[in-house]
A and B are shown apart, each in its own frame.
Chain A
């Protein structure tokens, strides 16, 4: 069974600084997607960034980028120029493309606080 591990329950960063959130996963599959979702306090979960396993190039979305190390099964999220609005729970998630349901398997999350 696939598992996703986020080993940092809480992180904090000064506004405008850079922070990296860690995620490791375990799978024997080769065709999968990885996601980072953001869940602000009392608001709904939104997609931050996603990575297709067969693509070697790391995904980037504006201030958000990933470091995808397939052999190490590592998928970290880097947030550059942190903003107060980045304060949220961040969840790493795995999707097995061979599983017809496309269900997501989530880690336990990292609570990020951006300090002014």
Chain B
């Protein structure tokens, strides 16, 4: 069990560009979560997958954001036409269906210039 991994760890982009982040959950964890953490704040829920189905999206997830989890394994989070307000740490977490504890990845830190 290698834990939750996220790539890239850091991303610097210019405003208006598209970015994509990847999350590899702990194998056999069927629940996968994306959170966003801005400086000085706790993580905020963005979206949740059970297997390949995206079952809930926060109102924080604007139309520019899209997430996928093909085949119920890894997940991607894409931000189109990035804005400076998108600068944050994007955290991924996974859990087993009957387990309340979520296991977090190291996060992807995004800076939009």
Contacts and interface: CB of A to CB of B under 8 A. Distances in A.
Contacts, number: 57
Most buried by A among B40, B42, B93: B42
A108 B41 contact: yes
B55 A108 contact: no
Nearest to A44: B106
Interface stretch (B16-24, B71-79, B80-88, B96-104): B96-104
B65 interface: no
Nearest to A95: B100
Interface residues of A, number: 25
A104 B44 CA distance: 8
B56 A45 contact: no
B41 A104 contact: no
Interface in A69-116: 91, 93, 95, 97, 100-109
B45 A50 contact: no
Given A33-B100, A45-B91, A108 B40 contact: yes
A101 B102 CA distance: 12
Contacts of B105: 44
Given A44-B105, A44-B106, A104-B102, A109 B55 contact: no
A16 interface: no
Contacts of B42: 4, 6, 91, 93, 106-109
Interface of A: 4, 6, 33, 35, 37, 43-47, 50, 91, 93, 95, 97, 100-109
Interface of B: 3-4, 31, 33, 35, 40-45, 48, 55-56, 91, 93, 95, 100-107
